[in-house]
Structure 1
Amino acid sequence: MPEVPVEDEEAKMSTITDGYFEEEYYISAEDAGEFLIELGEQFRDSDEITITGDDWEMPFAFGEPIELDIEFEGDGEPELEIEVELSGRVEDKVPNLE
Structure 2
Amino acid sequence: MPEVPAEDEEAKMSTITDGYFEEEYYISAEDAGEFLIELGEQFHDSDEITITGDDWELPFAFGEPIELDIEFEGDGEPELEVEVELSGRVEDEVPNLE
TM-score of the pair, normalised by structure 2: 0.85
CA deviation map 1:21-67 (0-9, x unaligned): 00100000000000000000000000000000011000000000000
| TM alignment of 1:19-30, pairs within 5 A | 19-30=19-30
CA 1:76–1:22: 2 relative to 1, 3 Å: same
Aligned residues: 98
Change (3 A) 1:9 1:67: farther
The root-mean-square deviation of aligned C-alpha atoms, in Å, is: 6.0
Report how far residue 14 of structure 1 moved.
0.3
Whole-Å Cα distance in 2 between the matches of residues 3 and 80 of structure 1?
37
The answer for unaligned runs of 5 or more in structure 1 is: none
| Higher RCO (Cα < 8 Å, 6 or more apart) | 1
Distance in 2 of aligned mates of 1:15 and 1:48: 15
2:5 and 2:11 in contact (8 A); partners too: no
Compared CA separation, residues 76 and 53, structure 1 to 2 (3 A): same
Structure-to-structure mapping, 1:71-90, within 5 angstroms? 71-90=71-90
Deviating above 6 A after TM superposition, structure 1's stretches of 4 or more consecutive aligned residues are 1-10, 95-98
TM-score (norm 1): 0.85
**Matched position secondary structure for 1:38:** helix
Larger radius of gyration: 2
Change (3 A) 1:6 1:74: farther
